[in-house]
Amino acid sequence: MNNVRCEVLIIGAGPAGMAAALAASESQKHIVMLDDNPRPGGQIWRDGPAAVLPTLAQFYRQAITALDNVTLLSGTKVVAQSGPQQLLYENDKGCGTIDYQRLILCCGARELLLPFPGWTLPGVTGAGGLQAQIKNGLSLQGERVVIAGSGPLLLAVADSVTQAGGKVTLLAEQASVTSLARFASGLWHWPEKVRQSLRLMNRHYRANSYVLEAQGQQRLTAVRVQQGGKVRTIDCSRLACGFGLVANIELAMLMGCRIENAAIAVDDMQQTSITNLYAAGECTGVGGSELALAEGAIAGYAASGNIASARALLEKRSKWQRFAAAVSQTFVLNPRLKTLGTADTFLCRCEDVSLGQISRHKGWTAAKLNSRCGMGACQGKICATAARYLLDWPLPQPRVPLTPVRLETLVNLTPQPPKDIN
């Protein structure tokens, strides 16, 4: 088992993590970045054979690579807290522990997927999931695609589908026309977003619309959609759904950080309720890459002792916090989405556990004790998150290990003496 030590440890190499590393590196402290993806960029700047990275993403990647005091451990996942200021990790080479003086959590967010009849059919994916497949080389040439759910991500996914040769037949946004018009009228505060929205606007975009059912036998052939006061059936070969994003806070909860509004609570310097533990990006509240970059830089400067540089970024962060608040208010989910699934609709796709099997319970723990819900590969990241929204359950307390790992990794939960990276 490999044991390493660093002064600043950053979990996550998305925009927030890279901004944090770049800021902290100015202090010449030894920094380790740990990320579960094969290449840095997170989900928004995900790389792949068919991905075209934005200029800003390329800048951050090149800047991080050029730093001799930053070590990036890609394809690596956190398993547990294995001691005071020590984390246990695993990758394809084995496992190890990292001792740190300062920790910055940039764990990002994941899609909220809500169950409805037929959502487990082949051809139905998450909106971000389809975008990730496209970046990895998936061709949609000649395919008819319906995109549904809520939030600005849907427009970006539609653009990716078109670039991959697919035909978007409907982009169903559940938010109302009134909410969208109010949001659009205030976009002038953020000129960058005006330009972006004009570039991404899709003629098949429809407000007050949501999927009722995915239809097909062996795979998806059509979707039934509520569009305003009408119900339509649309032929398609793919359906991509995403009902917003949910902060990844499991590691923070395990370490005892204070949680507010299902996100990690931080102060002006991005410090959590635990001394020397910072957080930035979507795990502190979903807000987009611009906010993540500002928060990451503030956290990096603060964690490395450069408070003056951190304070210089407060106004920039405030600007994008206002945008995040506007997005959040616009795309509040319609309560009717809680009623899409029926008693026999699967909630847990991994273990085939239906909504009817778990809806009578009072919380996630009771549901797991009485079914195999959450026992599959995702360890409840999809079904527990959906259940929390559908049934108004409290946040479940995460348990070790945070992710499925090899047995040889589990036996190393005992803290080990660290050594420096050569």
What pLDDT score was predicted for residue 378? Answer: 83
Which residue among 327, 345, 370 closes a domain?
Answer: 327
Core vs surface per residue 301-314: b (16+ CB within 10 A) or e: bbbbebeebbeebe
On whether both 131 and 236 belong to a single domain, the answer is yes
Question: Is 316 domain-assigned?
Answer: yes
Question: Is 254 domain-assigned?
Answer: yes
The overall pTM is greater than 0.85: yes
Q: Which residues contact 137 (CB under 8 A, 6 or more apart)?
A: 48, 49, 50
Under a CB-based contact definition with an 8 Å cutoff, are residues 38 and 75 in contact?
yes
Which residue among 327, 353, 374 closes a domain?
Answer: 327
Identify the domain containing residue 65 by its residue range. 2-110+246-327
On whether both 82 and 119 belong to a single domain, the answer is no
On whether both 98 and 55 belong to a single domain, the answer is yes
What pLDDT score was predicted for residue 359? Answer: 87
Core vs surface per residue 68-96: b (16+ CB within 10 A) or e: ebbbbbeebbbbbbbeebbbbbbbeeebb
CA–CA separation, 181 and 205 (whole Å): 13
On whether both 208 and 174 belong to a single domain, the answer is yes
The residue type at 379: Q
Could you tell me whether strands 124-126 and 238-243 are parallel, antiparallel, or unpaired per DSSP bridges?
parallel
Count the domains in the chain: 3
| Residues paired with residue 419 on neighbouring β-strands, in sequence order | 4
Tell me phi and psi for residue 188, to 5 degrees: -60, -20
On whether both 10 and 27 belong to a single domain, the answer is yes
On whether both 342 and 259 belong to a single domain, the answer is no
On whether both 149 and 267 belong to a single domain, the answer is no
CA–CA separation, 358 and 83 (whole Å): 35
Under a CB-based contact definition with an 8 Å cutoff, are residues 209 and 172 in contact?
yes
What pLDDT score was predicted for residue 1? Answer: 79
Question: Is 417 domain-assigned?
Answer: no
Helix residue spans in 284-377 (DSSP H) = 289-303, 307-311, 314-330, 355-358, 364-369
Token pair belonging to 219: 């795979």
What pLDDT score was predicted for residue 422? Answer: 43
On whether both 322 and 356 belong to a single domain, the answer is no
User: Per this entry, what is the length of the chain?
Assistant: 422
Question: Is 406 domain-assigned?
Answer: no
- Radius of gyration of the chain measured on its C-alpha atoms: 22
- Lookup result for tokens 């807000």: 287
Question: Is 36 domain-assigned?
Answer: yes
Mean pLDDT per segment of 10 residues, for the chain of length 422 residues?
Answer: 93 98 97 96 90 93 96 96 94 95 98 96 97 95 97 96 97 98 96 93 96 97 96 98 96 97 97 98 96 98 98 98 97 96 94 92 89 86 93 89 90 61 46
On whether both 149 and 176 belong to a single domain, the answer is yes
**Listed residue (151, 169, 159) closest to 221, CA to CA:** 169
Which residue among 243, 272, 301 closes a domain?
Answer: 243
On whether both 279 and 132 belong to a single domain, the answer is no
What pLDDT score was predicted for residue 391? Answer: 93
Q: What is the CATH number of the domain that holds 198?
A: 3.50.50.60
Neighbours of 198 (CB within 10 A): 9
What pLDDT score was predicted for residue 414? Answer: 61
Question: Is 262 domain-assigned?
Answer: yes
Chain centre distance of CA 6: 26
Question: Is 413 domain-assigned?
Answer: no
What pLDDT score was predicted for residue 119? Answer: 97
CA–CA separation, 355 and 358 (whole Å): 6
Question: Is 127 domain-assigned?
Answer: yes
On whether both 83 and 40 belong to a single domain, the answer is yes
On whether both 368 and 288 belong to a single domain, the answer is no
